[in-house]
Amino acid sequence: MCSTVARTGLGRISGVIYQHPAHGVAISGVKSNALLQPNWTVQKQFDRHNARQPTGGATHVSPYIRIPFFHERGPGVGIDQNLQERLDELFTDKHNAERVDIGFMRVQQKSDKKGNLVQWRRETRKNRDLEKAARAGTLQVDIDKVKEESIESGEIFTSIHNAAEFYGIYEDMFREGYFYPCVNLDIAYALEDDMMAPVYRGNMVKPREAASQPEVTWKSKEDDIWCLALTGLDTHLTEENQEYVHWLVGNIKGSDLTSGQELFNYMQPFPPFGTGYHRFAFVLYKQEGIMDFSSFSNDKSTTSLAERTFNTYEFYQKHQDDLTPAGLAFFQSDWDSSLRDFFHNTLQMKEPRYEYEFQAPHIEPWREYEIRDKTISFNEFLDQYRDPKDIEREVLVKKLAHTHPYHGDTEGHIKYPLAHEQDYQGYFDAPIGSKPLQRRQSKQTPSWRMVQIMREKTKDGFYASTDHSHLRTDPQLSQ
């Protein structure tokens, strides 16, 4: 399918770091000629939100805000960015300007649709059975035939490319490089009962299903040499922007995987609990000739994650004269209870459990003596500025107060927690014999305390951890 001779000459990835689009000004601390040009340079850290330029109205009295001096003003018109430029900076793709096609040249698809349309109409009008089936509602389209046609015509490669762009595969593996696959990779994991879990372009495969090596087939001439790599793009547990190599086979002759030199044995995917869905990509590279993989000095069955740390970009940059990516297939995987044994026994480590770190809710910094927001009472206001650990400690003490060591929750039978009057009374009972400070002092519970009791009883906010049904259960024990 791909013309092996016509390899795009543009496909070199250089080691040059992406350069900022110049706005006509050097982005550095170097000062330019003071005479003709302004004395300052555009600083990216300059906070434009603080560089207010008030009109300096006559009634403005505050000593903290004044008309800025010349050296405090922001960059002027023509130097500073306008809205469109700022949006472009925020939303440009990092490598859009320099994207490089590192694959084989796309072969033009035949488009003799017009001829086919006329022919099709003639044929179908004659076909009585087809008409009957259509009217009766029994017409069934063969999906497999449609799939075969898309493979033959090469349309599937456009779909694979689009799916890879959608999931950001090229960005993460090859940075500024991309390619149109030209060899269809047929990958399927064998399951029990003769079922297969195929790998297409982003479908779900659980780690339990992907525990053993899949069957990989592709069409190739006998004397072609290939290299197959399976890498996990998202799972890296120590470094940023690195991948783990799950399977690497080089110097494969024809389409026979067993003839290849296995540099890394197959290792199943292991997305940790709580991290969501991870992408795992099979890339098939076409080799120019037999390559020397002696730089891989590791033991091929290694389970050390440090040794399995891989960077497709660096690997490709090193060998780009010999390798061209020709095939791509990827799947997504998330956690599965079988991974606990895998972490413990195969990887020899404790099972990591993660949770998503949400952005902390916005709390207005307490800058002024007078509190503007009077909708919340003083205790809720002050709680916003306390260490959450202190609050949670208090909540835990309250929870333990109603937890029996053997019977558990002693208040679990209460259906209507707000209906018990005794909870709201007598909080401020004075000691016996003491005189009240003021004769008209109310002995009713104050409103802020009522709200606090209500929140406690309904298990709202921080009190949600007092709910015994929220206790984590070990999924393996409940089975």
Partner 1 sequence: MSNLRIFRCLIPRFEPRLVYNCVRHSSSAQGSSDAPYSDNDKIAPRVMNRNPMNLEMMSIGRKPEGFQFEQEERAYWNKLTLEISNQHTTAEVIHWTGRPVASASTKEWAFRKQLYNLTDNAAVQAVGKIISRRCLETGIREVSLHLTSEEMKKEKMKKFISVIEESGIILSEPDMYRADNPHKDDTYDIPERKVKPWTVLE
Residues 439-478 that bind partner 1 (CB under 8 A): 451, 454-455, 458, 460-462, 464, 475
Q: Of the candidates 252, 316, 323, 336, which one interacts with partner 1 according to CB under 8 A? A: 336
User: Would strands 215-217 and 201-204 be described as parallel, antiparallel, or unpaired?
Assistant: unpaired
Q: Cβ(227)–Cβ(287) under 8 Å? A: yes
- Segment interacting with partner 1 (CB under 8 A) among 12-20, 140-148, 255-263, 285-293: 140-148
Closest approach of Cβ 33 to partner 1, in Å? 36
> Dihedral sign, CA of 371, 372, 374, 376?
negative
Residues 247-286 close enough to bind partner 1 by CB under 8 A: 272-279
Gap between the Cα atoms of 243 and 422, Å rounded: 60
Q: Is residue 215 close enough to count as binding partner 1 by CB under 8 A? A: no
145 binds partner 1 (CB under 8 A): yes
How far is 205 from 338, CA to CA, in rounded Å?
13
Number of residues that bind partner 1 (CB under 8 A): 97
Paired strand residues for 329: 282
Residue 219 phi/psi, 5° resolution?
Answer: -90, 135
* Candidates 10-18, 73-81, 210-218, 326-334; binding stretch for partner 1 (CB under 8 A): 326-334
The CA distances from residue 48 to 44, 63, 191, 284, in Å, are 10, 21, 58, 48
Binders of partner 1 among 344-363, rule CB under 8 A?
A: 347-350, 352-359, 361, 363
> For residues 180 and 106, is the Cβ–Cβ distance under 8 A?
yes
Q: Give the CB-side neighbour count of residue 72, counting CA atoms within 13 A.
A: 10
Q: DSSP character for 246?
A: E
213 binds partner 1 (CB under 8 A): no
C-alpha–C-alpha distance, residues 12 and 103, integer Å: 10
**Closer CB to partner 1, 71 or 126, in the complex:** 126
Of residues 71-90, which lie at the interface with partner 1 (CB under 8 A)? 87, 90
- Applying CB under 8 A, among 153, 259, 298, 301 the residue interacting with partner 1 is 153
Cα–Cα distances in angstroms (integers) from residue 478 to residues 155, 168, 311, 351, 475, in the given order: 48, 38, 40, 18, 5
Using the minimum distance from each CB to partner 1, give the nearer residue, 13 or 25: 13
Q: Which is nearer to partner 1, 153 or 259 (CB)?
A: 153
Q: Please, what is the minimum distance in Å from the beta carbon of residue 403 to partner 1?
A: 20
Report the SS3 class of residue 126.
helix
CB of 51 to partner 1, least distance (A): 24
Other CB atoms within a 10 A radius of the CB of residue 350 amount to 9
Using CB under 8 A as the binding rule, the residues of this chain from 111 to 130 that contact partner 1 are 113, 116-117, 120, 124, 127, 130
**Cβ-based nearer residue to partner 1, 27 or 204:** 204
Residue 186 binds to partner 1 (criterion: CB under 8 A): no
Residue identified by tokens 């921080």 is 462
Site for partner 1 contains 131 (CB under 8 A): yes
Q: Quick one: which of 27, 134, 190, 414 contacts partner 1 (CB under 8 A)?
A: 134
Binding mask 388-427 for partner 1 (x = CB under 8 A): x---------------------------------------
The smaller minimum CB distance to partner 1, of residues 31 and 420, is found at 420
Residue 328 contacts residue 169 (beta carbons within 8 Å): yes
Give the containing element (helix H, strand E) for 448.
helix 447-457
Q: Computed from CA positions of residues 84, 85, 91, 97, in that sequence, does the dihedral angle turn out positive or negative? A: positive
For residue 19, give the nearest of 202, 176, 228 by alpha carbon.
176
Least separation in angstroms between residue 116's CB and partner 1 is 6
Q: Which of 19, 45, 62, 238 binds partner 1 (CB under 8 A)?
A: 238
Q: Which is nearer to partner 1, 29 or 115 (CB)?
A: 115
Nearest approach, Cβ of residue 465 and partner 1 (Å):
9
CB of 257 to partner 1, least distance (A): 23
Between the CA atoms of 449, 452, 453 and 458, what dihedral angle is there, to the nearest 10 degrees?
Answer: 160
Residue 42 engages partner 1 in binding (rule: CB under 8 A) = no
Q: Is 236 in the site for partner 1 (CB under 8 A)?
A: yes
Q: Which amino acid is at 28?
A: S
